[in-house]
Structure 1
Amino acid sequence: MRWHDEERRKDEKLRHPADGQSWKDFGNRHTNFALDTRNVRLGLSSDGFNPYRTMSISHSTWPVVLMAYNLSPWMSMKQEYFMLSLLIPGPKSPGNDIDIYLQPLIEELKELWEVGVETYDASKNETFPMYTALLWTISDFSTYTMLSGWSTKGKLACPCCNHGTCSNYLTYSRKMCYMGHRAFLPEDHPWRANKRSFNGKVEHRQAPPLLSGTEALSQLEYVDNSFGKLKPKKDGPWKKRSIFFDLPYWQYNTSRHNLDVMHIEKHIVDSILGTLLDISGKTKDHTNARYDLQEMGIRKNLHPKKTNGNKKVKLAKACYSMTNAEKLIFCDVLKTAKLPDGSASNISRCVNLLERRISGYKTHDAHFMLHYLLQIPIKGILPDQVAVPLIRLGSFFRQLCQKSITLQEIDQLEEDIITTLCQLERIFPPSFFDIMIHLPIHLANEVRLGGPVQFRWMYPPERYMCTLKSYVRNRSRPEGSIVEAYLVEECLTFCSRYLHSGVQTKLNRQPRNNDEPNNSMMETTDAFSNLFPKRGVPLGAKKGEPFLLDDNSREQVHSYILLNCHKIDDYVRFHTRQREVRRKTQNSGVTLVALTTSFASTKDANPIHGNVSYYGRVNDIIELDYYGNFKVTLFKCDWYEAREDAYGSTYVHFNKKCYQEEPFVLACQVHQCFYVQDAVDKNKHYVMKTVPRDLFSISDQVDIDAEDT
């Protein structure tokens, strides 16, 4: 519980909520609370789920979960450290009445803030008064209204822009659109005066300031907080005074409610795919959207034209429109893409080549497509004026979701997303810009306030709700089943961790199915000599020191094993190319960063020393056994020439190999990557670098939760 203060590296990077401005502001204001680092800082998350695992039964159960941010990054967002504080029964969502259910929890939080609780610290062998504070809530955008009281619908739907939200009602589409992102540009930016490319007006507004908790509380002074079925009509954006304001410190919290990046990404991917592929019911470019353009008097080339005696309407092709052949290429890239194990579901099952549409994908699939996959077909099919802002949008989210980020990177992301959204305003119709397209403009600032995204999005709570759903055994009383099973599991966990004495022996699990490694043992024979050349073979560089398999080390090898699968610390798995031929996943891609001397030419007298990235695929996995003293795992790889395209993406050609005389590398030196085939050139593959979910870079060391799978 003291990790956030004693073990967290305190530098310019944000790796933990303690690095965010909100945490620091809270400590500066409440100095007595911050003096003892064992005092607990919490986050609260809530969402509804159907415990019956079927859409035929309408039921909504709402758990309220607490997570402790004192813990390390690889612990605080794990299910075993969550606290199920409330379980609000169905069958319907509690809506604004959720405050009634939250009353016992708020009373306990007030007591833990004002009085504290006597706690025994086993590490210091002392008893101390422990206090607790709630930093913020985590929820999807619809639940945001229930927890904060701010209405997330209508003309003031953005809680960050609040009363300065720029919105416009579209008469024909019958919906609100949220454009006007030029207000976030510098005052002297030329786009502010560009009427033709935007909404036909000069932009003079400034970016609206955030609404502080004190200002919000003053606005809530006259809001009717009556609960129940009969609710008075409210003219303003506030639907109620949130019960969280009963906490003495809540109005002073810099960040009180978080925007959920998970659902924002999913909605953006839905809008992009629906519009580009012109999916019926999903596209944002339709007849009514074109009439909205005509009413606004902008983009006259896209206005609908009536033909055949005004009986039919003809719509001109937009710059983002694709032919059926191009749609087929677009879908084929996603259909044939192989992803690493555990990164996403089988996206190919969501692609219908015959109908040229993509549907049925989950939130994490959308996350992966936005970060890595969509840019490949987009850059090969669409013109640059459309491809560039869409690629930059995916790049923004990829950098935003880093587990380690600097303030300089956050500032740059904030500038980039403003420009990107303004570029999108020049391309897509106003109906494209619903509230979820607008919200990314605030996400960089939320990272500045609260730290990395991984601590404030809904992925961990959603997985936790899936676990709760699995507890349901009695459908007549689902909440009772969940509570009973939850308590039993908590008791078993406590007993196994804290009451069990003795040494636990880890048993080696034997292969049970085809997914387990099929290894073959080979003694040192002539085959070993054929596998490794006689001379020393460099195995890659680590801090400038090459590892060589020389004649002496060859003689010390007692035996070796040929593997087709290798796991590093249980968090990333590598396969050989032969193993994954018939598999739907791709785990053979590797990238190595080595300190290398580069020459501009043969006559170059001033070589450059620096890190160079190499990209390849694993052909063989060899485990060397040095007479039981130690073992070394080697990868025998094909390496490829790497290039960079005009969009800044790295690609390789599988038919252009290099460094064939140096195929070996230590398994501990490489990181996993995967390759996505180009939409046109089948030999051209783009390199995609990923970071495993449970891998965290803390200081100069790598820390993971070794028990997590």
Structure 2
Amino acid sequence: MFKFKASFSITDSAFDSMMQMIRDMLPDDNTLPESFYLTKKIFKTLELRYEKIHACANDCCLFRNDLEHATKCPKCGASRWKVSKNETGIKNGVPTKVLRYFPVIPRLRRMFAIGEIAEQVRWHSTNKSIDGKLRHPVDSLAWDSINRRWPSFASDPHNMRFGLSTDGFNPFQDRSSYSCWPVILASYNLPPWLCMSKESLMLTLLIPGPRQPSNDIDIYLAPLIDDMKLLWKDGIEIGYHIVASLPIWDIDDFLLQITDCASKKCLLVRHNVDVIHVEKNVCESIFGTLLNQKGKTKDGLKSRKDLEEMQIRRDLHPQKRGNRLYLPTTPHTLSKTEKQFFCRRLYNLKLPDGYGSNIANCVSLADCKLIGLKSHDCHVLMQQLSVVALKDLLSKAPRTAVFRLCVFFNELCQKVVDRNKLEKLEEEIVETLCMLERFFPPSFFDIMIHLTIDLGREARLCGPVQYRWMYPFERYMKVIKGYVKSRARPEGCIAERYIVEECALLCSKYIKKADDIGSRNARNEEFESSLLLEGRPISKGHPIDLSFELLQVAHRYVLFNVEDV
């Protein structure tokens, strides 16, 4: 019943009524709990709980340890308690901010108590690649450097290695400015198909809004860091093993101090640049400039005046004719006809089911511009669709430079990458940026363009980007956003629902044929047949006759791309 509540978001009052109805159907001496409150008391023995820690309204400190009984912030003097809006007094016992911490140690104990998970945690010790390819963080140089630096830690395959990620999200369904920040741990000991799954991600902190913590986020990380220090120095006893843990890097949109339980100089990469946001910003800069889209283009009057002041590319300097300034045409901007061709191609494009969103919704044919592109839209556009959409458009030289940048992101995001190929990519991206400098203005080369130089190095040191980008964490934030049922207490809704799902998920591991929380069948499972192709058809089929040239192209594609052939 607890799993049923977690799976279908049943309210507490509805759960109480359902339990009472079932009790009435059972014999009088049944032991079924009467309410949700009594049901939760049964699960207290699992020690899956969360702690409420009061915080300063200005993010100065947490009221814990020495400040546990303080009533004011020692730094800014702000009251620990809320001030009544209708009265002049202070509401004692009602804190202004509450940090919710989900302790890591009891969750690790419960994880190792399940035989199946305890065996999966040792996957990394016997599945390291031997062909020089990178398939998992265990194949990376960062992993090997930790093994060399701490051989006693590496000798026990049960010792955990985590990646820490955080990002802000609006827990409401409107466009309010409220920002809640969950801190999530990913377990890199697990195999690839479980490593970044929703069930394997561990919510550890829920930093309250309405403002983002910004540089003060280290204040809120203190409980997690204390547990990580304890795990690193002393470990926890689980059966016959003493399990330790180490956060090997963090993944987010800004620089974050992960912990000082290991020396800063001992980790090859402490912070990973988020590939998806770099790719999104690069995509918007490129196509905004190609389409000369207002607000997105990096080329304009100020950019041309920069060229004039730098005394370079005189053919692009603004020209004064009477009382007006005219900007000469550039090789990096599409003409009006080319813009129409580009937008029409994207608008008419048909994609397989599940491949991506309907890109036509992001194309404005009237204004010849792209609007409302999400991160995954930019991902697909950069790596796959740009080659089709820009075919025979733009001058050859700038088109080649743009295509080289798209190929760089495509090679970087492969699930299996060759370390030697990554070294070549690091050299080629420098050449690609030099090629872009020949055509695009200096204002085009902001920090996001220059960050592409670091992406190849990080992939070579840390492994495939699928384990270090924000996609799984943002999908998880979308899930916990659905937990909010009260605008007055969004963090409380998330915490209570998370505990319910965690308890139900743990219990389902002990019940045979029990599905995990949130598990569902494959999208196209009903199409599995020896007579049908894999996937869902996008339209009604029509017979066509291929010309000899197209048959040669198809034959060549099969030879070059199918390993069995």
Q: Distance between the aligned counterparts of 1:270 and 1:374, measured in 2? A: 12
Q: Distance between the aligned counterparts of 1:78 and 1:25, measured in 2? A: 26
Native 8 Å contact 1:64 1:87 kept in 2: yes
The answer to whether 1:385 aligns with 2:367 is: no
Q: Distance between the aligned counterparts of 2:286 and 2:349, measured in 1? A: 19
Native 8 Å contact 2:342 2:390 kept in 1: yes
Native 8 Å contact 1:306 1:314 kept in 2: yes
- Partner residue in 1 for 2:189: 70
The answer to whether 1:133 aligns with 2:246 is: yes
Taking structure 1 as the reference length, the TM-score comes to 0.58
Native 8 Å contact 1:639 1:657 kept in 2: no
Native 8 Å contact 1:67 1:82 kept in 2: yes
Native 8 Å contact 1:638 1:657 kept in 2: no
- Partner residue in 2 for 1:38: 158
- Partner residue in 2 for 1:48: 168
**Residue type of the alignment partner of 1:490:** E
Native 8 Å contact 1:640 1:658 kept in 2: no
Deviations 1:238-270 (A, max 9, x none): xxxx4x453233431111000111001100111
Q: Distance between the aligned counterparts of 1:287 and 1:348, measured in 2? A: 31
Native 8 Å contact 1:65 1:82 kept in 2: yes
- Partner residue in 2 for 1:420: 432
Counterpart mapping for 1:449-528 below 5 A:
449-498=461-510, 500-501=511-512
TM-fit CA distance, 1:68: 0.6
**Which of 216, 229, 240 pairs up with 1:97?**
216
TM-fit CA distance, 1:378: 2.2
Native 8 Å contact 1:375 1:390 kept in 2: no
Native 8 Å contact 2:251 2:274 kept in 1: yes
Q: Distance between the aligned counterparts of 2:561 and 2:164, measured in 1? A: 32
Q: SS of 1:138's equivalent?
A: strand
The answer to whether 1:88 aligns with 2:88 is: no
- Partner residue in 2 for 1:345: 357
Matched residues, percent identical? 44
Distance 1:502 1:371, change over 3 A: closer
Deviations 1:75-121 (A, max 9, x none): 1111110000100000000011111100000000000000000113x
Higher strand share: 1
The answer to whether 1:248 aligns with 2:248 is: no
Deviations 1:619-651 (A, max 9, x none): 8xxxxxxxxxxxxxxxxx9896797xxxxxxxx
Deviations 1:29-50 (A, max 9, x none): 1111011111111000000000
- Partner residue in 1 for 2:304: 290
Q: SS of 2:473's equivalent?
A: helix
Q: Distance between the aligned counterparts of 1:306 and 1:87, measured in 2? A: 57
User: Which runs of no fewer than 5 residues in structure 2 stay unpaired?
Assistant: 1-120
**Which of 146, 151, 156 pairs up with 1:26?**
146
**Which of 578, 581, 588 pairs up with 2:539?**
581
Taking structure 2 as the reference length, the TM-score comes to 0.73
Distance 1:562 1:456, change over 3 A: closer
**Which of 398, 403, 419 pairs up with 1:407?**
419
Q: Distance between the aligned counterparts of 1:489 and 1:433, measured in 2? A: 46
TM-fit CA distance, 1:340: 2.1
Q: Distance between the aligned counterparts of 1:251 and 1:313, measured in 2? A: 54
Counterpart mapping for 1:677-692 below 5 A:
none
Q: SS of 2:221's equivalent?
A: helix
Q: Distance between the aligned counterparts of 1:658 and 1:372, measured in 2? A: 21
Query: Which structure would you say has the larger RCO, counting Cα contacts within 8 Å and 6 or more residues apart?
Result: 2
- Cα root mean square deviation, aligned: 3.1
Q: Distance between the aligned counterparts of 1:73 and 1:689, measured in 2? A: 24
User: Which runs of no fewer than 5 residues in structure 1 stay unpaired?
Assistant: 121-126, 148-241, 520-560, 568-572, 583-617, 620-636, 644-651, 660-669, 672-686, 691-696, 701-709
Q: SS of 2:392's equivalent?
A: helix
Deviations 1:356-408 (A, max 9, x none): 01111210010000001112232311111111010010001000101111111
Counterpart mapping for 1:260-271 below 5 A:
260-271=274-285
Q: Distance between the aligned counterparts of 1:517 and 1:300, measured in 2? A: 62
Deviations 1:267-304 (A, max 9, x none): 01111111111111111110100000111111000001
Q: Distance between the aligned counterparts of 1:394 and 1:253, measured in 2? A: 30
**Which of 254, 258, 277 pairs up with 2:291?**
277
Q: Distance between the aligned counterparts of 1:20 and 1:453, measured in 2? A: 11
Distance 1:406 1:78, change over 3 A: same
Distance 1:456 1:517, change over 3 A: closer
Q: SS of 2:460's equivalent?
A: helix
Q: Distance between the aligned counterparts of 1:70 and 1:510, measured in 2? A: 26
**Residue type of the alignment partner of 1:480:** G
Native 8 Å contact 1:245 1:251 kept in 2: no
Distance 1:517 1:29, change over 3 A: closer
Counterpart mapping for 1:163-312 below 5 A:
242=257, 244=258, 246-308=260-322, 311-312=323-324
Q: Distance between the aligned counterparts of 2:512 and 2:189, measured in 1? A: 27
Q: Distance between the aligned counterparts of 1:510 and 1:365, measured in 2? A: 25
Q: SS of 1:379's equivalent?
A: coil
**Residue type of the alignment partner of 2:327:** L
